Structure 1
Amino acid sequence: MTLLSRLFGVRPGIRHPVRLRRDVEIPAADGVPLLASHYYPADVDRPPLVLLRSPYGRGNALDQLPKLLAERGYQVLYQSLRGTAGSGGRFDGFTIDPADADGTLSWLRAQPWFGGVLATGGASYLGYSQWELAGHEIPEWKIALIQDAPAEFGYRFMYPGGAFALGNALGWVQLVDRMFAGGYSVTRQLLSMITAARRLSEATLALPLNEADLVLTGHRVPWFREWIEHGPDDPYWARMDHRANVARMPPAVHLQGGWDDFFLPGMLADYAALRAAGRRVRLLIGPWGHGRGLYTRHGMPDALAALDAALLGEHPPSGVRLFVTGADRWTDVVEWPPPHESTPWHLHPGGRLSDELAPDGMPPSRYRYDPGDPTPAVGGTAVGLSAGRKDNRRVEARPDVLTFTSDLLPHDLEVIGPVRARLYARSSSSHVDYFARLCDVSPGGRSTNLCDGIVRLSEPGDVRTADIDLWPLAHRFARGHRIRLQVSSGAHPRFGRNPGTGESLATSRELRPSSHEIFHDPDRPSAIWLPVFSGAA
């Protein structure tokens, strides 16, 4: 039995003997050869097939999942996308050549062992590739299992709020380059991680930014340079936007995300679109970061239950299952977001946060931002081990970070849903970022980040309004805790620093400091809105 079966308690009723065909060559529609591994149960004739399409290689630890599926009675075709792990052609970042899917589907339908029943699965890029696959009509497709992957890549991931996701972009460049250079060897990848953090830190501070790939990898990465040369509203990103494919997704879709995953807002937008398109959608969100949820005792059984039901001709589970942080419990709701009351908490002078408006006639709060010494990000929705919930007291002690903190809560406060903030701000520069982060402050003083968001402003003006969409959450602030809002003008390297000049992100060399005022009076009531859950105890 596979390691995953034992770890996650998903032992199949019948354990089938598994066979493997390596390096199966599949011609893309343009003739480029794509390699795949074919796992199948030796004692089942033409069983349902699960298609996995990946740039991350085959024959390593990830192959535990195909083995698990095969011993449950499914075939698995684990394919390497073009330009990766022996497949021909050129890898092009998050642009997938449609010829890959064209050729794969035609080839698959011609195989005598294909029984005409298809599922897809996978996390991150493997989930994103399922949205790209839906550019085709596939009547055999019964369910898509998508973890931590949105239909659209450019705006929500690469430019959330208009700010470039520098740390995550370079972190992924480094991950892929490490795989390619190391021949997908896990040992080589682990060895290269010894100096990875230092190189990544140096690359995030590179000027101009279009040389960051050289600092990081020693060579040019064309698709990274394209990312920083094309802003969020550029037509360039249309090739990575598969939201229009929702009408061709299969009848059932299982979505799995994490509260600390950078793809979560996009996935929740996909959830709404799939429901509107009449799909049966299961949504599970747990207390983890990117790519970690499936390999848990909650994520794995839930996904397999949906897969088994769909491929056996039954109705897979729907509805929404959420982990409520702070309460450390799972809860089931009918839909996302569940019924809630969006309740404002207002910023006050002196660093207070209150559910009442601030008094009139008080001066604004002030700070200075210097991109030469950028405000750091601590935890949050970052690539790698630095992601997640961390103690933020050190960054909150910096003079370029404002904090607004509530009184001790007299009772538990449960919030589930979207979070937003509005800041009334004046800056010495037209080109500024505003970053807002919600934290839970324990009785001992630890300030733990829950969710955050950023917006980039470029229009001139006196007092401007900064509307910030933070990551959604499900959290219980316990009695005796405090609610805290951080306000700053950066979270480096999670978001690339704003140089303050308005020059091209790719070629700018100058860094210009700026001063900021945050207003909090009845005419300019800066606030954060929390989704108070109407079903809370």
Structure 2
Amino acid sequence: MNLGSHLTQCLLSLPPPLTRDLVVEHDLRVPMRDGTVLLADRWRPRSGGDGLPTVLLRIPYGRAGMAVVPMVRPLAERGFQVLIQSTRGTFGSGGVFDPMRHEREDGLDTLDWVIAQPWFGEAMVLYGMSYLGFVQWAVADQLPPQVKAMIPAVSESALSLEFLRADGFSLETPFGWGVMVAGQERRWAVPRQLLGARRVRRAMSELPLNQADFAALGHRSDYIQDVLAHDAGTPRWAELDHRHRVADIAVPVSSVGGWYDIFLPGQLRDHQALVAAGRQARITVGPWSHTSRGVGVTAAGEALGFGLALARGERPPERAPVRLFVMGEETWRDFPSWPPPDCAPRRFHLHPDGVLSTDTAGESAPDRYRYDPADPTPAVGGVRLALGVRGGRVDNSGLEARPDVLTYTTAVLETDVEVIGEVSAEIWFRSDLPHADVFVRLCDVDAKGRSTNVCDGLVGLTGADRTSRATVRLWPTAHRFRLGHRIRVQVSSGAFPRYNRNPGTGEPRATATTLRAGNQEVFHDAEHPSAILLPVCPATQKSDLAGRGLEHGLDISGLDN
């Protein structure tokens, strides 16, 4: 009995395979246009593998091991042959690994090579998560006709640009990933990474930050130095931005994302670009962070349902273009588009004494707190991508007890309030320093008082010592606030180390050595109406909520403002 096959079947909730008897051809040599040779492994059924539809995975993390086999085996057992290739400079492939920079040319050369092989049939599917999704976007506007579908998961066409924003640098993701790939080919790499996770977290507190890679690795990392020195808008990253290719993708695309995934905003943007261009596209978003098991389960299902059908010249099973897990309701729902039609933004205003209300605020003094980057407001759950760190939905009570976190909460809801779509906040803010961050988090407070994070976002301000409106783009979401619950908004000035701590000095993030604490003010009066904008869906708009006697301004008539 093939124990690995049975375990993978159980792990991914799959039906029994067509065969468990597979053959793996190792170290196939794939030549690139510059003479570099990349290595690949071909998985196929022992009998009848030639001519089957081919799944192509291009991966920088190796072609074997516990993380790879569950991606490859179920596909090769259920109707595909699979080619998994190590990207340039990784695990025996020639050249130097310069993350994301060679994936277009190498990907196009690999496609040409696969199609020319005697074992190739007539159809190919591109598949994979994260970096394995990015390599699909990099070639997607120039696919040969033999490619019948793309299935990118927790990925997007401009993979690094969200966490390299000048006004919101997400330190944890690129730093942790840079440390991981720097040591991934050492002996006992995974145990080393697990044991070194605490050291990596300590390293992110180094000053100056351009010494952090040495503290974590004992040597320099060119990739980490790059991300510290160059913001998303600089020419250094221009060739990694494939957004302009999305509208020209001719093959059907089924993407899988998570509400707590770092790449979700870009993934939804890519889906909208495909739809706007008239392409065949669908998307599934679940209650997951980047490495959640549900991502792999759902992506495998899409490969075997959507991808295999198209590769065989068949129609995939019908379903809506958008399938979302609605948190709070804890159920899957189908929608015709993203964002769903008729879910309109409604303003929930910040008030004195920690009140959140649909009424506009009157005259009031600002709320104040002190942000000290030497003791930064921590990241708790949410959008995280780091070893040993829990992302997603968590209890926020400890975070909300800190003096550097303000909270604003509605009265108890007397009916459900459903929020699905893009979320933003407008916070009127002032600091006694010219440089400061504004972090906003939306939470659901249950009947027992437990506060759970729904979505959040951060923006960095220059000229923060002048009263101004900070516009914060939170992560998109689908959440139902249940009757008896309350809606809460947190306002603070950081979420470290997900976002780099703002030193308050304006020094470049790579070389800053001085930390200055800032005294922050949040305004909520008639001239400075701080608010969060929630896309409230029709079932919970005026027709259903009016006249329910909601107190503290939550009479739904306030939602018309």
Q: Distance in 1 between matches of 2:112 and 2:209?
A: 42
> Are 1:351 and 2:351 counterparts?
no
Residue in 1 that maps onto 2:137 = 131
The answer to whether the Cα contact below 8 Å between 1:431 and 1:457 also exists between their aligned partners in 2 is yes
| Pairing of 1:190-229 with structure 2 (within 5 A) | 190-229=190-229
**C-alpha contact (below 8 Å) 1:425/1:464 kept by paired residues:** yes
Equivalent of residue 128 in structure 2, options 119, 122, 127:
122
Letter in 2 for 1:420: S
- What corresponds to 1:5 in structure 2? 9
Distance in 2 separating the partners of 1:432 and 1:75:
53
Aligned position for 1:185 = none
Closer/same/farther in 2, CA of residues 435 and 460 from structure 1, 3 Å limit: closer
Cα distance in 1 between the residues matched to 2:210 and 2:382: 25
CA apart distance, 1:237: 1.6
- Residue in 2 aligned with 1:85? 91
2:492 paired residue number? 488
Match of 2:291 in 1: 291
Aligned to 2:514: 510
Matches within 5 A, 1:99-498: 99-134=105-140, 136-159=142-165, 162-182=167-187, 188-292=188-292, 298-316=298-316, 317=318, 319-339=321-341, 340-360=343-363, 362-384=364-386, 385-459=389-463, 462-498=466-502
Instruction: Give the corresponding residue for 2:552.
Output: none
CA contact (8 A) 2:348 2:357 kept: yes
- Do the aligned partners of residues 45 and 34 (structure 1) sit closer, same or farther apart at CA in structure 2, a change above 3 Å counting? closer
Equivalent residues of 2:379, 2:495 under 8 A apart:
yes
Deviation, 1:314, is 2.5
Shift of 1:227: 0.9
For the residue of structure 1 that corresponds to 2:41, the secondary structure is: strand
CA shift at 1:290, angstroms? 0.4
Whole-angstrom distance in 2 between the partners of 1:119 and 1:483: 43
- CA distance in structure 1 between the aligned counterparts of 2:493 and 2:471, rounded to whole angstroms: 14
CA distance in 2: counterparts of 1:345 and 1:438, whole angstroms:
11
Per the TM alignment, residue 17 of structure 1 is displaced from its structure 2 partner at its CA by: 3.9
Q: Deviations over 1:343-378 (max 9, x none)?
A: 111000111111111122x10011111111111110
Greater mean alpha carbon deviation, residues 131-140 or residues 213-222: 131-140
With 491-500 and 238-247 compared, the bigger mean Cα shift is at 238-247
TM-score (norm 2): 0.91
SS of 2:288 mapped into structure 1: strand
Q: After superposition, give the CA deviation of every residue in 1:449-485 in whole Å (9 maximum; x if it has no partner).
A: 1100001111366211100110011111111111111
Q: Which moved more, 1:36-45 or 1:508-517?
A: 36-45
Structure 2 unmatched runs, 5+: 545-561
Q: Within 2, Cα distance between the matches of 1:499 and 1:297?
A: 41
Distance of 1:217 and 1:210 partners within structure 2? 12
User: 1:175-198 CA distances to partner (integer Å, 9 max, x unpaired)?
Assistant: 22341223xxxxx23421443232
CA distance in 2, matches of 1:80, 1:150: 20
For residue 524 of structure 1, give the secondary structure of its aligned residue in structure 2.
coil
What per-residue deviation string (whole Å, max 9, x for no partner) do you get for residues 11-37 of structure 1?
367337422101111111111110100
- Does structure 1 retain, via aligned residues, the 8 Å contact 2:439–2:491? yes
Distance apart, 1:421 and its partner CA: 0.3
Q: Identity of counterpart residues, as a percentage?
A: 44
For 1:189 and 1:477, the matched residues in 2 are separated by: 43
- The change in CA–CA distance for 1:501 and 1:295 in structure 2 (over 3 A counts) is closer
CA RMSD of aligned residues (A): 1.9
Hey, what's the Cα distance between the residues in 1 that align with 2:225 and 2:83?
A: 33
With over 3 angstroms needed to count, the CA separation of the structure-2 counterparts of 1:98 and 1:150, relative to structure 1, is closer
Q: Distance in 1 between matches of 2:518 and 2:37?
A: 53
How far, CA to CA, are the matches of 1:12 and 1:307 in structure 2?
18
**Which secondary structure state, in structure 1, belongs to the residue aligned with residue 162 of structure 2?**
helix
Give the number of aligned pairs. 530
* CA distance in 2: counterparts of 1:461 and 1:179, whole angstroms: 44
Counterpart of 2:53?
A: 48
* Change beyond 3 A, Cα 1:180–1:154: same
Report the Cα offset of residue 108 of structure 1. 1.9
Q: Which amino acid in structure 2 is aligned with residue 148 of structure 1?
A: V
Q: Which amino acid aligns with 2:374?
A: G
Q: Are the aligned partners of 1:16 and 1:43 in contact in 2 as well (CA < 8 Å)?
A: no
Residue deviations 1:76-134 (CA, integer Å, cap 9, x gap): 11000011111111111232354422431332232111123111000010001111122
- Structure 1 distance, partners of 2:159, 2:110, is 23
- Does the C-alpha gap of structure 1 residues 174 and 15 become closer, same or farther in structure 2, counting only changes over 3 Å? same
8 Å CA contact retained: 1:40, 1:73: no
Aligned 8 A contact 1:142 1:250 in 2: no
TM-score, length of structure 1 as denominator length: 0.94
C-alpha contact 1:53 1:78 (8 A) present in aligned 2: yes
**1:411 CA displacement:** 1.3
Residue 413 of structure 1 and its aligned partner are, at CA, apart by: 1.1
Cα deviation for residue 312 of structure 1 reads: 1.7
Using the alignment, how far apart are the partners of 2:282 and 2:530 within structure 1? 36
Alignment gaps of 5+ in structure 1: 183-187
In structure 1, give the amino acid aligned to 2:75. L
Q: For residues 475 and 334 of structure 1, what CA distance do their matches in structure 2 show?
A: 17
Once the two structures are TM-superposed, the CA of residue 383 in structure 1 deviates from its matched residue by 0.8
